[in-house]
Amino acid sequence: MTLRQGFPPLTLTATGLACRRGERVLVEGLDFAVEPGRALLLKGPNGAGKTTLLMTLYGAIRPAAGAYAFEGADPDGPPFLHLFGHQSAVKPRLSLIENLSFWLSVNGSGGLDPHAALDAVGLGPLARLDAGYLSAGQTRRLSLARLLVTPRPVWLLDEPTAALDTQGEAMVARLIEAHLDAGGIAVAATHLPLPIGAARVAELRLGS
Ligand SMILES: Nc1ncnc2c1ncn2[C@@H]1O[C@H](COP(=O)(O)OP(=O)(O)OP(=O)(O)O)[C@@H](O)[C@H]1O
């Protein structure tokens, strides 16, 4: 699958990064770099701080110490981050295709058209169904399709395979690989192994 012809090269670096949630510093002394076409998988037990690190990189939480940077990003350009978190952001009274059209109008176009995005996540035949009728896994798939209609070079993914079946897990891996092929980068918190080529993946273990 081809998602896009290519992103401008952008590298994520972290130096001595510490992340806090409320008053608690959960992780500290993080040093890593994620280059174009590469993914960083965040591993660690429940509560280790994986979501907190993703939210910090998204800019929702200020670092407790240290710094991170998206080198090569245009500070005056369009948003370059997608956060795929536990909240689905799905509107239940809108059909699947209306949900994607909504996100496209809010976030911008340039990626797959909404029908192609639904096909890519295996929901093509349900395009006209109200999203409120979707199962948990289908809702996650629809939420993932949001990333495909608006190309952004950085994907921050929190348990992207949660609630998905075996085919869905493989689908997520394919989408991430297509994103990396386009020169994007991904940071993903996951308890499950993601079948992505080992050469383009590094792991960062948080907690004990
Ligand atoms: N608003 C908050 N104030 C203080 N602590 C919080 C707050 N929100 C979450 N926490 C705590 O921060 C810790 C880290 O949570 P986080 O969601 O980052 O972990 P995680 O590694 O993603 O876990 P999981 O694998 O369960 O998703 C947890 O102990 C959680 O209880």
Give the whole-angstrom CA distance, residue 97 versus residue 84: 19
Task: For residue 104, give the nearest of 118, 93, 87 by alpha carbon.
Answer: 118
φ and ψ at 62, to 5 degrees?
-75, 140
For residue 175, what is the DSSP state? H
At position 57, the amino acid (one-letter code) is L
What are the beta bridge partners of residue 34?
A: 12
pTM of the model: 0.95
Segment 93-113, tens digit of pLDDT: 999 999 999 999 999 999 999
Atom of ligand 1 nearest to the CA of 23: 4
The alpha carbon of 24 and the centre of ligand 1 are apart by a number of angstroms equal to: 10
Tell me, yes or no, whether 88 lies in a domain: yes
Question: What percentage of the chain reaches a pLDDT higher than 90?
Answer: 85
Confidence check on the interface: ipTM exceeds 0.90, yes or no? yes
Tell me, yes or no, whether 169 lies in a domain: yes
The alpha carbon of 46 and the centre of ligand 1 are apart by a number of angstroms equal to: 8
Give the tokens for residue 24: 């608690």
Residue 115, classed as helix, strand or coil, is helix
The alpha carbon of 204 and the centre of ligand 1 are apart by a number of angstroms equal to: 17
What are the beta bridge partners of residue 185?
A: 154
Task: For residue 40, give the nearest of 170, 186, 173, 182 by alpha carbon.
Answer: 186
Residue 16, classed as helix, strand or coil, is strand
Segment 166-192, tens digit of pLDDT: 999 999 999 999 999 999 999 999 988
Domain residues for the domain of 130 are: 11-205
The alpha carbon of 87 and the centre of ligand 1 are apart by a number of angstroms equal to: 15
Site residues for ligand 1, CB cut-off 6 Å: 21-22, 24, 26, 44, 46-52, 189
- What domain count does the chain have? 1
The pLDDT of residue 39 is 97
Tell me, yes or no, whether 3 lies in a domain: no
- 57 pLDDT band, cuts 50/70/90, is very high
Tell me, yes or no, whether 136 lies in a domain: yes
Task: For residue 153, give the nearest of 36, 32, 34 by alpha carbon.
Answer: 36
- Asked if residues 176 and 82 have their Cβ atoms less than 8 Å apart, the reply is no
Give the tokens for residue 16: 């001595």
Atom of ligand 1 nearest to the CA of 52: 18
- 4 pLDDT band, cuts 50/70/90, is low
Q: Is the per-residue pLDDT at 3 higher than 80? A: no
Q: Is the per-residue pLDDT at 132 higher than 70? A: yes
Tell me, yes or no, whether 1 lies in a domain: no
Q: Measuring from atom 19 of ligand 1, which residue has the nearest CA?
A: 47
CATH number at residue 133: 3.40.50.300
